[in-house]
Amino acid sequence: MNGRVLIVDDDKEMCRLLETAFHKRGYAIAARTTAEEAFELLAAEDFDVVVSDINMKGMNGLELCARVAQNRPDIPVVVITAFGTFDTAVAAIRAGAYDFITKPFEVDVLELTLKRAIQHRVLREEVKRLRRAVDDRERGLEDLTGQSPAMHKVRDLILRVAESDTSVLITGESGTGKEVVARALHHRSRRGGGPFVAINCAAMPEALLESELFGHEKGAFTDAKAKTVGLFVQANGGTLFLDEIGDMPLGLQPKLLRALQERKVRPVGGGTEVAFDARVIAATNRDLETAVDEKRFREDLYYRINVIHVPLPPLRARGNDVLLLAQQFLHQFAGQSGKNVVGLSTAAAEKLLSYHWPGNVRELSNCIERAVALTQFDRLQVEDLPEKVRDYRPSHIIVASDDASDLVSMEEVERRYVLRVLQAVGGNKTMAAHILGFDRKTLYRKLERYGVSGEG
């Protein structure tokens, strides 16, 4: 079948002729002699195209065309008339007609028009389908701005694991957007309609954090004047986001591990466990493998929360994403302040691209907010940027030079490069060792020899 066609003409003989001709050519044909009957049929059945005469008693063809365009815009309408004036053609197009044919006409000409109209409908439906597919794929990812390969990997990983209830560990430097990713995982999941409950594990002392997570009974401690439900239970049907889990007190970690294993919590001062149904997503800017080696984080808890690992790249590794994010922040802050700022000057863009952004996306947001507040032009200028961004000069490791005073030993070259890599990854020793091709113990020995220590 080439397509389903509805013919509308108050001339019964014309309906019969067209129905016969197009039936022989492989079309499924329905015919009606009034626009009212045709419109009722359209409400009950689907057609690929409507062919309608203009001059009919009651509702005419132009009125029918307008109604179809309003109620079934996916169905193209071809109008036919014996009065082929310019004004009539304009009226048909304004009514929403796909095409306009004057009588008398050849059946081959009408068929060519019908084929084009049906193909037009097929293409429109395909475009809609693709848009729906793209919208569905991007649902919940709107805040993850960026086209760099690193961010494409992050989005693909989110799409692959969002529907699972498996625990996820998001790692990355401070300011890279770990909570944004956690919210994207939540919104993409089957729990997206439930609550998203977040807590910063580094923001409160151990006793208070325990009470917040697990709840407490009335009288459990001095200020416990009423029973309180913990965040695990509050997150029922949704997601609990444990931010900065690497800073969780060591004494509280066994209770967290038990809660994750048993899917139950015991409120402080309580004697009965309470079941919860929440997905747990954790995040940290710490090197947890190093923390495990140094006995500052429980190994069993590490493996419990790190079933799926989502590493976030630092902003300096995302290339031109810096400018995409800067433009997004610019529109946001310009709109909030009511200023007519539309973009970046070329010189300002170059400064943003060359800066190393130790504070990542959070620092860029702060930079653009400040620049929008200060600028007197419709485009941000270099002078509007913070001094450390304006004056930044990338550091380079000299491996060869015409100046003998710049020449150093291979051991010194290695020392400088190792420290440069460690700085570039924000002190994350596991990541630095991976980039350098060392195992972590080798890296630790070298750092100890260089006189470098501290948490990674």
Determine how β-strand 215-216 pairs with β-strand 228-229.
antiparallel
pLDDT computed for residue 255 by the predictor: 95
CATH classification of 3-134 is 3.40.50.1460, yes or no?
no
pLDDT computed for residue 275 by the predictor: 95
pLDDT computed for residue 124 by the predictor: 85
What is the number of other CB atoms lying within 10 angstroms of the CB of residue 280? 24
Architecture of the structural domain at 318-390: Orthogonal Bundle (1.10)
pLDDT computed for residue 84 by the predictor: 64
Residue of 95, 43, 34, 41 whose CA lies nearest to 66: 95
pLDDT computed for residue 261 by the predictor: 95
pLDDT computed for residue 30 by the predictor: 93
Looking at the DSSP bridge assignments, the partners of residue 344 are 380
Residues 329, 177: contact at Cβ < 8 Å? no
Quick one: DSSP state of residue 268?
Answer: B
Where does CATH 1.10.8.60 sit in the chain? 318-390
Q: For tokens 């919208």, name the residue.
A: 135
Query: Looking at the domain covering 149-313, what would its CATH class be?
Result: alpha beta
pLDDT mean for each 10 residues of the chain (456 residues):
89 91 91 92 90 89 91 91 75 87 87 91 81 55 85 91 92 94 92 94 90 87 81 96 96 95 92 92 94 93 96 91 94 94 92 92 96 94 95 68 61 81 79 82 83 57
Strand order in the sheet with 77-81: 27-32, 3-8, 49-53, 77-81, 99-102
Looking at the DSSP bridge assignments, the partners of residue 80 are 53, 101
pLDDT computed for residue 50 by the predictor: 94
pLDDT computed for residue 399 by the predictor: 58
Residues 6+ away with beta carbon under 8 Å from 412 = none
Q: Token digits for 13?
A: 């003989």
d(CA 71, CA 59): 16
d(CA 88, CA 438): 79
Where does CATH 1.10.10.60 sit in the chain? 404-450
Where does CATH 3.40.50.300 sit in the chain? 149-313
pTM of the complete model:
0.64
Residues 6+ away with beta carbon under 8 Å from 135 = none
d(CA 172, CA 246): 12
d(CA 57, CA 33): 9
Q: For tokens 């491996």, name the residue.
A: 399
Residue of 277, 282, 274, 272 whose CA lies nearest to 245: 282
Q: Token digits for 268?
A: 């402080």
Where does CATH 3.40.50.2300 sit in the chain? 3-134
Determine how β-strand 343-344 pairs with β-strand 379-380.
parallel
pLDDT computed for residue 402 by the predictor: 58
SS3 string, 193-262, reads: CCCEEEEECCCCCHHHHHHHHHEECCCCCCCCCCCEECHHHHCCCCEEEEECHHHCCHHHHHHHHHHHHH
Architecture of the structural domain at 404-450: Orthogonal Bundle (1.10)
